[in-house]
Amino acid sequence: MITDGLTYLALLLFVASSVVFVEHRTRAKIFSYLPSIVIIYFLVMLLSTLGLWQKCDAVTQTYKSVKSDLLPAMIFLMLLLADMRQIARLGKKMLLTFLLASVSIGIGFVVMFLLLHHYFEPDSWKAFAALSGSWMGGTGNMVAIQGALELPDSKMGYALLIDSVDYAIWVMILLSLVPFAAHFNRWSQADTAIIDEVGEKLARKNSQTETISFPSLFFLLGSAMLVSALSTWAAGLLPTTDFLTQTTWIVIIATVAGIVMAMTPLAKLPGASELGNMMLYTIVALIASRASFAELTQAPLYIAAGFLIIAVHAVIMVLFAKLFKLDLFSLGIASLANIGGVASAPILASAYSKALIPIGVLMAMLGYIVGTFGGLMVGKLLEIIAK
């Protein structure tokens, strides 16, 4: 049994990096259905359930310090990719469709919780708030909200379980609807000429990629850790409430810093995504190391709740499509940019046309910006319902 912090951290890093390495080298089909980050979580949770490490002072201190220091750094790095000037090129209609998707998802969470909250544990609203952050942005937003609301790691398993099972089925549904796009667009009376034009312009704009270099990677790491330290210091100066804790302030400050710096030359340095993902996978492994399969006693109910949220979201999107003459591509990409994030929105975009892939990427980047704030707002509403 592991009792020292360094060995504990080293093992978690080895497990997380091994899963990513195997995915890259084998391209196994399992990774199409279960993202590597989900596999990492449940694999580490299995090791935790088996008692491979002891939750002693040394291990606990390592867990707390590494997680609290990496969280704001990870948020900052992932938001460096979300340049608001690029996102604005999507046009008003695409941006409004994305915001409609975000709002409808938030409504889905509220409706679901109003109907089912009596069947869940008292603090279950925190798990759903974390999930809403993911379904409006990505896993990074989920982890940010988990830290901001101080959600117990044992409850994160539910959020990731819904995020994996329900999301996978929703992706398959959206992909299966691609052949029916023309029929849907005739029904909604949508015009796709502007989307095709925007897609081609963005494809030309993003055709050049830079190679990651050691100086840029090192500088990004230093910048991210400095933002982490400054966010922690600044948060200590701000007033706190039951909802706006010091950790919440840290998350908000790091988020704002990332949004602002994404419009500076720092964002042009290659490697922010890779470095941010390393931190994200490490944080997820840390969270999983404090959980156990024995605690997932309400898994079927949580999964059913996730499908109810998606159903409400889908109904609202279809109704607004008819009302505002929205096309199926815009609806699908907006939905998946929220629920799936940057890993899946481009895949759905490519199913329509290769030229539309940049639209999927940019909409997913917008999700990183709104996910944390949107998730915190949903969390506040769910907390009110829970009382």
pLDDT of 295-317, one tens digit each?
Answer: 666 788 988 999 999 999 999 99
Query: Mutual orientation of helices 299-324 and 92-116 as an angle, nearest 10°?
Result: 140
pLDDT the model gives residue 219: 95
The rounded distance, in Å, linking the Cα atoms of 339 and 142 is: 11
The more confident residue out of 115 and 241 is 115
The rounded distance, in Å, linking the Cα atoms of 298 and 154 is: 12
> Residue 17: which pLDDT band, with cuts at 50, 70 and 90?
very high
pLDDT the model gives residue 200: 60
pLDDT the model gives residue 65: 92
Average of pLDDT values for 76-87? 79
Statement: residue 354 has pLDDT above 70: no
The rounded distance, in Å, linking the Cα atoms of 111 and 279 is: 34
Average of pLDDT values for 350-367? 74
Q: List, in order, residues 6 or more apart from 149 with CB less than 8 Å away.
A: 126, 129, 130, 248, 376, 379
Range of lowest pLDDT (10-14, 97-101, 114-118, 164-168): 164-168
Average of pLDDT values for 378-383? 92
The pLDDT tens digits for 309-351 are 999 999 999 999 989 888 888 898 889 888 877 666 777 877 7
Angle at the Cα of 262 from the Cα atoms of 261 and 268, rounded to 5 degrees: 110
Helix ranges, the chain (H):
5-26, 30-33, 36-49, 57-79, 84-87, 92-116, 124-136, 139-148, 153-176, 181-188, 193-205, 214-235, 246-261, 272-288, 299-324, 328-339, 345-352, 357-386
Written as six digits, the tokens of 120 are 């869940």
Give pTM, 2 decimals. 0.76
pLDDT the model gives residue 132: 93
Average of pLDDT values for 20-29? 87
Average of pLDDT values for 96-120? 92
Written as six digits, the tokens of 119 are 């069947």
Average of pLDDT values for 23-45? 81
The pLDDT tens digits for 238-276 are 888 766 778 888 888 988 898 889 889 998 888 888 898
